[in-house]
Structure 1
């Protein structure tokens, strides 16, 4: 698809390293080969992946890569742009020589130090295999919910996904009602991305992968992190099927929607 999308006017290809809603990790190395052959720049939005999976820019073959502090337990409001040597970009702001003339203004020193320390700690966690623990919890959650609940779909790749990402669609109920009931049980979840949390429209990501709106409305995203425990996952596995059963009993929709399976 990327190869077909590139035309003679293409200057830059930018791809999310992993989707923030359904967790699927994209084949960045393969895409980099395509863009290199085509002679266009390649940027990877690695906000979701840095600190959670091993990343080496030379192995990925990207020209540019971005990351954000708050996604790896660092401070909000600070990020990093990696530029391969020799790549020139226009200044974001003029007026000062800060950040090699690319962005004028006093640097956010506290934020820079914070994201640096967060990256250092994330590297240690990866080396110690802490993400493997999260993957085990994620896979347990997926397996148990698929076994305990009927008419449910896992969105995204079953294994080639972010370590802490789980995204389901449940038939006959709305995501908002699930969130309210989970919240009353002390469980924080979402029905889409944080970027669109104020919207009542179905996820554009789920629509893009071919799900009809009525099924996309029943989405639930669950995110696991370094501090989650197996006991907490077991609690969720116990609570969620009960909530689904209760909401379906109240739902006017019955039968089966074609397209979920």
Structure 2
């Protein structure tokens, strides 16, 4: 795999070294965190340390963080049983629970009439478009923005939000719901009353400890300005492609975007084909969301923004990370442009 270049960081991220170390250390913690003996208290302390780390990175209070199996479960915990409105650009984990009727502009901006009964993502996983969340919003999918752009939950204005460890260098299978104090959240999993009565079941100590380490490391990266460097690489990539592929459309480019995300479409060239051609060239990119059981389908987000079915099916997403180098970006651009030239030649 040494000759591979990973450019799909919005789908999932490589495990950080400090996260791997935290996981290994947590494996040696024997106790059940609900037990009152020394071993149990040691396990509980590990969870509370991670809760404090996640809360600090998120700009929230520790008691507001409820650990879950991921952002999908966190969204369900916040949205199930409520009448909530959303836009078509939301992740399926949110759209599945909502009335999909909020309008979206061609630049990806969402209009909200009733924030208290709405869900609006902080940033879109496919286009990278960042939203300005209205005051009093019920729920926000914070997953893609957490660790990449500066924000604090305490001043975002939303009541609840979902985050995931594997989007910022942590393991898959652990996430959290963050919710403002005093907010009623009905447990979907009932049993022993863990996680302050909001999510029963013995906690995933290894995953939670790793999430804490990942959140802390991601906060340090953000403070160090690493994502500013990544944004420069993203711009280099887009400029290299735009200079020679005049038909290619960069989605959401006129909007505030995540620093690492580029979504672009070339009319008549299927995104699925591009992904396969890039894969054969040693580059991992994606077409649409990665949460469709391996299926490749036209982007619901792009369709909501006004692109037709054919156009939406011609989009790919390239998402960079802190490990991405300029040489990686330029090699990708050259390979993509070579394939794009062959596509144009076939079209005549």
> What residue in structure 2 maps to residue 136 of structure 1?
232
Distance in 2 (alpha carbons) for counterparts of 1:70 and 1:192:
18
Q: How many residues align?
A: 240
**Structure 1 residue 91 corresponds to structure 2 residue 187:** yes
Distance in 1 separating the partners of 2:279 and 2:187: 44
The structure 1 residue matched to 2:156, chosen from 25, 49, 60, is 60
**Distance in 1, Cα, partners of 2:297 & 2:207:** 34
Mapped to 2, the partners of 1:72 and 1:181 lie a distance apart of 27
- In structure 1, what is the Cα distance between the partners aligned to 2:293 and 2:195? 33
The one of 170, 173, 181 aligned to 2:277: 181
* SS of match in other structure, 1:114: helix
Alignment partner of 2:266 out of 170, 175, 190: 170
Query: What displacement does 1:159 show?
Result: 5.3
* Mapped contact 1:155–1:168 kept (Cα < 8 A): yes
Instruction: Please list, as runs of the form range in 1=range in 2, the aligned pairs for 1:56-205 lying within 5 A after superposition.
Output: 56-158=152-254, 160-196=256-292, 198-205=294-301
Which residue number corresponds to residue 321 of structure 2?
A: 225
Matched with 1:25 is 130
Task: Select between 51-60 and 117-126 the one with higher mean Cα deviation.
Answer: 51-60
Does 2:302 correspond to 1:206? yes
Larger RCO (CA under 8 A, 6+ residues apart): 2
Correspondence for 1:258: none
CA contact (8 A) 2:130 2:255 kept: no
What secondary structure is seen at the aligned counterpart in 2 of 1:244? Answer: helix
User: CA offsets per residue over residues 219-238 of structure 1, 9 Å max, x none?
Assistant: 11111011110010111121
Residue 312 (structure 2) pairs with residue 216 (structure 1): yes
- In the other structure, the counterpart of 2:341 is 245
Partner of 1:257: none
Instruction: Say which is worse superposed, 156-165 or 138-147, in terms of deviation.
Output: 156-165
- Contact conserved, 2:144 with 2:167, CA < 8 A, in 1? yes
Contact 1:138 / 1:224 at 8 angstroms: preserved in 2? yes
Unaligned runs of 5+ in 1: 255-261
Q: Deviations for 1:167-221, whole angstroms, at most 9, x for unmatched residues?
A: 0010221112211211111111111110236334321111111112222221111
Indicate the RMSD between aligned Cα atoms, in angstroms.
1.8
Give the structure-1-normalised TM-score: 0.86
TM-score (structure 2 length as normaliser): 0.66
C-alpha distance 181-92 of structure 1, shift in aligned 2 (>3 A): same
